[in-house]
């Protein structure tokens, strides 16, 4: 019987193959063509990020929750060593998008380089002190050492100086002792009481908070003292105007995924549990402080007058920081905020 079956297969083989060619091959070709077309129309966005930066958390959510597939683009994350490396990579065309601030963008635009900005986060560092420091206001910083992670032209340090001058008639560069140090070292200096107060990046502040330290003053209070009573985005997605013009679909899809990832991170504790290994939190208190700090920085809506508000902060920074900070851009350059971004707007207050 086995011999007869083999003989039958051999006899009918040409007809079977012909049927496959007639009915299946066109379908397979069509499927292959559609797959290739889908790959061709799915744009790629190359994002340059610090290797262990907090931006990676949002990008991880995009990938893990298939938001890149949902919105039809390919995300390529390119790790970089420092903030300076990210701006160099953007200028050299090695990446399409980085995270930076509107000061850098405005300065570039004033020099004829068409970079632009879309809000990413309102989060920024506070002035952290020990609970028993005896300091309760900025006036108490007189005679104290202040550790600063961002260098002499750190924007929060400059805003703090402006606030101290306006509210307390104090020049902190003379009345206090500024000490400049890298973020990890600065945390150890203030924890070991080698400096009296610390102005660090927000996620390093979160680690200090988890160790029992407290903010002496937060940025919103500093801004309010300078007449700026609304939250402002401190960092954002930065890219070239001409790249955006050539790749509008890529940018729109990327921003749609970014907004949905932020929404998920704002409401889902389970998502943060999944992210926990990436956060490198030493303990539960640090994990919670990092999660809450990130959430507090999410811009849930964009103020209708956000550009005007940032322009007010920029004028203060330009006055205090001078051309070493802003270069030729003495006021916020037109086009610093990309007009094509259609994020959620805030209701009237």
- pLDDT tens digit sequence for 208-257: 999 999 999 999 999 999 999 888 999 999 999 999 999 999 999 999 99
Q: Is residue 10 in a domain?
A: no
Q: Both 279 and 192 in a single domain?
A: no
Does residue 17 register a pLDDT over 60?
Answer: no
Q: Both 205 and 155 in a single domain?
A: yes
Q: Is residue 72 in a domain?
A: yes
pLDDT, residue 44, reads: 96
Confidence tier at 165 by pLDDT (50, 70, 90): very high
Q: Is residue 179 in a domain?
A: yes
CA 26 to chain centre: 47
Q: Both 56 and 118 in a single domain?
A: yes
Q: Both 95 and 239 in a single domain?
A: yes
Number of structural domains the chain divides into: 2
pLDDT, residue 341, reads: 82
Q: Both 306 and 168 in a single domain?
A: no
pLDDT, residue 40, reads: 55
Q: Both 186 and 321 in a single domain?
A: no
Q: Is the dihedral of CA 81, 86, 88, 90 positive or negative?
A: positive
Is the model more confident about 342 or about 253? 253
pLDDT, residue 320, reads: 95
Q: Is residue 137 in a domain?
A: yes
Tell me what the mean pLDDT of segment 109-123 comes to: 95
Does residue 312 register a pLDDT over 60?
Answer: yes
Tell me what the mean pLDDT of segment 156-182 comes to: 97
* Domain that includes residue 283, residue range: 41-122+232-326
Q: Both 266 and 311 in a single domain?
A: yes
Mean residue pLDDT of the chain comes to 88
Could you report how far apart the first and last alpha carbons of the chain are, in Å?
87
Tell me what the mean pLDDT of segment 320-327 comes to: 93
Instruction: Give the integer Cα–Cα distance in Å for 32 and 26.
Output: 10
Q: Both 89 and 158 in a single domain?
A: no
Is-contact 338 244, C-beta < 8 A?
Answer: yes
CATH label of the domain that carries residue 64: 3.40.190.10
Q: Is residue 284 in a domain?
A: yes
Q: Is residue 313 in a domain?
A: yes
Q: Both 131 and 60 in a single domain?
A: no
Lowest mean pLDDT among 16-20, 248-252, 262-266: 16-20
Confidence tier at 31 by pLDDT (50, 70, 90): very low
Instruction: Give the integer Cα–Cα distance in Å for 286 and 266.
Output: 18
Q: Both 86 and 151 in a single domain?
A: no
pLDDT, residue 229, reads: 87
């Amino acid at each position: 019987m086995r011999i007869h079956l083999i003989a039958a297969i051999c006899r009918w083989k040409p007809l079977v193959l012909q049927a496959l060619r007639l009915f299946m091959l066109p379908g397979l070709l069509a499927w292959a063509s559609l797959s290739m077309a889908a790959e061709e129309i799915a744009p790629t966005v190359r994002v340059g990020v610090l290797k262990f930066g907090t931006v990676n958390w949002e990008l991880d959510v995009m990938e893990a929750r298939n938001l890149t597939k949902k919105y039809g683009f390919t995300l390529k994350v390119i790790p970089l060593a420092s903030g300076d490396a990210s701006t160099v990579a953007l200028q050299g065309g090695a990446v399409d998008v980085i995270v930076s601030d509107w000061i850098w963008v405005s300065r570039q635009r004033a020099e004829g380089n068409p970079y632009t900005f879309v809000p990413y986060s309102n989060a920024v560092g506070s002035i952290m002190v020990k609970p028993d420091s005896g300091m309760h206001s900025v006036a108490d910083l007189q005679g104290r050492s202040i550790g600063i992670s961002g260098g002499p032209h750190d924007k929060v340090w400059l805003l703090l100086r402006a606030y101290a001058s306006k509210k307390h008639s104090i020049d902190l560069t003379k009345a206090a002792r500024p000490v400049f140090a890298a973020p990890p070292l600065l945390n150890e200096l203030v924890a070991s009481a080698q400096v009296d107060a610390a102005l660090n990046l927000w996620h390093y502040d979160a680690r200090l908070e988890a160790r029992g330290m407290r903010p002496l003053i937060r940025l919103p209070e500093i801004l309010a003292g300078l007449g700026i009573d609304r939250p402002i985005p401190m960092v954002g997605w930065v890219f070239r105007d001409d790249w955006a013009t050539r790749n509008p679909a890529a940018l729109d899809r990327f921003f749609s995924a970014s907004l949905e990832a932020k929404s998920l991170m704002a409401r889902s504790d389970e998502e943060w549990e999944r992210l926990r290994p990436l956060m490198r939190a030493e303990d539960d208190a640090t994990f919670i402080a990092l999660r809450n700090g990130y959430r507090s920085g999410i811009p849930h809506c964009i103020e209708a007058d956000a550009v005007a508000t940032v322009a007010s902060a920029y004028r203060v920074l330009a006055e205090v920081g001078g051309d070493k900070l802003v270069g030729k851009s003495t006021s916020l350059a037109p086009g610093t905020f990309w007009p094509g971004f259609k994020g959620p707007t805030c209701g009237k207050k």
